[in-house]
C-alpha cells in the first residue's frame, strides 16, 4: 500500500474511480418547492466532477423523510427527471456520482415539508434544539410519532423504491445515510431507540433496521455492490447518544462486513477511540474515511493503509476543482459557512476553478 496516494486510481465494486478523493454528501438547501433539485444543482455537481466519486447531498427517499428547508426527494417523476440531468452532466464531465438517501426521522420540522404526515422515529423522543424554517424562522423540533412494528417494512420499502429510481436515473450507486442522528442512527442509538420489539434493546436488535434496509436497497438496485453506507459512531450531532457505541458499531460492521456492499464510509468526529482502526478490519470492501482531512493527512491515511478513499466535505464547497488544487499545491479558498444553506447561486456555483 506504500505508494497509494490521493491521486491513485481506485476501484469501488462496480466501477473505477480516477482518484481516491470522494466529495462528501452535503446538504446545500437549494432545491425547489416540492423536493425537486434546481437547475443550479446541475452546474454545482458538474463543477465538482473531478472528484473520484461525488456523493450527493442528502436526498429524502420519500416526502416523509424530509426535514430541512429546500431539500430534495427521490420519489416523483419530476424529481427524478431533474436528478437525471445532474447525473448526465457529471457523467458527461467524466465523473461518478452516487445518491445519498437521507431520511431524517425526528430531525424534521413540518413547515419544511410538503406532506402533512408527522415526522417518525423509532420512539417518541423529541430532539433538543431548533431548526431553521423559511416560513417561521427558528423552531423547536417536534415530538416524532413512534413507528409501529408493522409499519417498518413500509419505511424500508421507501428506501428500496428510491434506490430503484436512482439507478433508473443513471446513478452509479446509492448511499444509505446512517449517520448524523437521522432515522437509521435513531434506530442504532439507545437514547432514541427505546423499543421493546425486535428493532430495539440489544445491539443486534438495534442494527436490524439498517441491515434490512441495506438488503432491500441491494435487491432494488439489482446488486448489493451498488450500495454504500455512511456511519458516524459516537457523533453527538442532533442530540443523539448511544450507551455503548463501540459495541453497537462493531456489531453493525460485523453484520454488514461480508454483504458485498460498495463501500463503508466512516465519519470520525472526535480523535479517540479511532473508529477507523476499529472498524476497517471488520469490513471486507472499500473503506472511505472522512472528517476534517487535509491533503497531507489524507495522503498519510492512504499510505498507512488505514483507508482506501478519503472523503472531503467543506473544502469542496469553495474549491470545485479540489483534486487539481491538491495536485498543484495551489491555494485553497476557505469554506464560508454563511453560504452553506442559503438559496441561490451565490456561494454555490460561484466559486471558480483554477
Ligand X SMILES: Cc1cc2nc3c(=O)[nH]c(=O)nc-3n(C[C@H](O)[C@H](O)[C@H](O)COP(=O)(O)O)c2cc1C
Lookup: cell for 33: 418547492
Of residues 68 and 209, the one with the C-beta less far from ligand X: 68
177 binds ligand X (CB under 6 A): yes
Q: CB within 8 A of 93, min separation 6: which ones?
A: 46, 49, 50
180 binds ligand X (CB under 6 A): yes
312 binds ligand X (CB under 6 A): yes
Report the C-alpha gap between 186 and 144 in whole angstroms. 11
The CB-side HSE value for 11 (13 A sphere, CA atoms) comes to 3
Of residues 24 and 54, the one with the C-beta less far from ligand X: 24
CB 134 within 8 A of CB 94: no
List the catalytic residue out of 45, 182, 249, 275: 182
Report the C-alpha gap between 265 and 24 in whole angstroms. 10
Determine which residue in the list 10, 218, 313, 323 makes contact with ligand X, applying CB under 6 A.
313
Determine which residue in the list 4, 6, 26, 266 makes contact with ligand X, applying CB under 6 A.
26
Lookup: cell for 40: 443550479
Least Cβ distance, residue 102 to ligand X (angstroms): 6
Report the C-alpha gap between 173 and 141 in whole angstroms. 32
Of residues 195 and 252, the one with the C-beta less far from ligand X: 252
Report the C-alpha gap between 203 and 190 in whole angstroms. 9
Least Cβ distance, residue 269 to ligand X (angstroms): 8
Least Cβ distance, residue 148 to ligand X (angstroms): 28
Active site residue 348: no
CA nearest 159: which of 129, 125, 183?
183
Burial pattern 249-275, b for ≥16 Cβ within 10 A else e, equals: bbbbbebbbebebbbbbbbbbeeeeeb
Of residues 182 and 200, the one with the C-beta less far from ligand X: 182
Lookup: cell for 232: 458516524
57 binds ligand X (CB under 6 A): yes
314 binds ligand X (CB under 6 A): yes
Of residues 72 and 144, the one with the C-beta less far from ligand X: 72
Determine which residue in the list 292, 324, 344, 350 makes contact with ligand X, applying CB under 6 A.
292
Burial pattern 198-221, b for ≥16 Cβ within 10 A else e, equals: ebbeebebbbbbbebbbbbbbebb
Determine which residue in the list 147, 253, 256, 267 makes contact with ligand X, applying CB under 6 A.
267
Task: Select the span of 21-29, 120-128, 210-218, 323-331 touching ligand X (CB under 6 A).
Answer: 21-29
Least Cβ distance, residue 317 to ligand X (angstroms): 6
102 binds ligand X (CB under 6 A): yes
CB 231 within 8 A of CB 179: yes
If you search the block for the grid coordinates 442530540, which residue do you land on? 239
Task: Select the span of 18-26, 36-44, 141-149, 239-247 touching ligand X (CB under 6 A).
Answer: 18-26
Determine which residue in the list 24, 89, 217, 229 makes contact with ligand X, applying CB under 6 A.
24
Least Cβ distance, residue 4 to ligand X (angstroms): 19
Size, binding site for ligand X by CB under 6 A: 21
Catalytic residues: 182
List interacting residues with ligand X (CB under 6 A).
24-27, 57-58, 100, 102, 177, 179-180, 230, 267, 290-293, 312-314, 340
Amino acid at each position: 500500500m506504500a505508494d497509494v496516494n490521493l491521486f491513485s486510481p481506485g476501484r469501488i465494486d462496480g466501477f473505477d474511480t480516477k482518484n481516491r478523493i470522494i466529495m462528501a454528501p452535503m446538504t446545500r438547501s437549494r432545491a425547489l418547492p416540492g423536493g425537486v433539485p434546481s437547475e443550479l444543482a446541475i452546474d454545482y455537481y458538474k463543477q465538482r466532477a473531478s472528484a473520484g466519486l461525488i456523493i450527493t447531498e442528502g436526498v429524502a427517499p420519500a416526502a416523509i423523510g424530509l426535514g430541512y428547508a429546500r431539500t430534495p426527494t427521490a420519489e416523483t417523476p419530476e424529481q427524478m427527471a431533474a436528478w437525471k440531468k445532474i447525473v448526465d452532466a457529471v457523467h458527461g464531465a467524466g465523473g461518478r456520482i452516487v445518491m445519498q438517501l437521507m431520511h431524517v426521522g425526528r430531525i424534521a420540522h413540518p413547515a419544511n415539508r410538503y406532506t402533512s404526515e408527522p415526522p417518525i422515529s423509532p420512539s417518541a423522543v423529541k430532539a433538543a434544539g431548533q431548526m431553521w424554517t423559511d416560513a417561521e424562522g427558528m423552531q423547536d423540533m417536534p415530538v416524532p410519532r413512534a413507528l409501529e412494528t408493522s409499519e417498518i417494512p413500509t419505511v424500508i420499502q421507501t428506501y428500496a423504491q428510491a434506490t430503484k429510481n436512482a439507478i433508473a436515473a443513471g446513478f452509479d450507486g446509492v448511499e444509505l445515510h446512517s449517520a448524523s442522528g437521522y432515522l437509521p442512527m435513531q434506530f442504532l442509538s439507545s437514547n432514541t431507540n427505546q423499543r421493546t420489539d425486535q428493532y430495539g434493546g440489544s445491539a443486534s436488535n438495534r442494527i436490524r433496521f439498517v441491515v434490512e434496509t441495506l438488503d432491500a436497497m441491494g435487491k432494488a438496485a439489482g446488486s448489493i455492490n451498488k450500495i454504500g453506507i455512511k456511519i458516524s459512531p459516537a457523533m453527538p450531532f442532533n442530540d443523539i447518544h448511544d450507551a455503548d457505541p463501540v459495541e453497537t458499531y462493531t456489531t453493525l460492521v460485523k453484520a454488514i462486513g461480508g454483504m458485498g456492499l460498495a463501500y463503508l464510509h466512516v465519519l470520525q468526529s472526535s480523535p479517540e477511540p479511532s473508529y477507523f482502526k476499529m472498524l476497517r478490519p471488520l469490513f471486507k470492501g472499500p473503506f472511505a474515511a472522512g472528517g476534517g482531512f487535509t491533503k497531507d493527512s489524507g495522503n498519510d491515511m492512504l499510505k498507512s493503509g488505514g483507508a482506501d478513499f478519503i472523503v472531503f466535505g467543506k473544502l469542496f464547497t469553495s474549491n470545485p476543482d479540489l483534486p487539481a488544487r491538491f495536485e498543484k499545491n495551489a491555494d485553497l479558498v476557505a469554506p464560508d459557512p454563511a453560504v452553506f444553506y442559503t438559496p441561490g447561486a451565490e456561494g454555490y456555483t460561484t466559486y471558480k476553478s483554477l
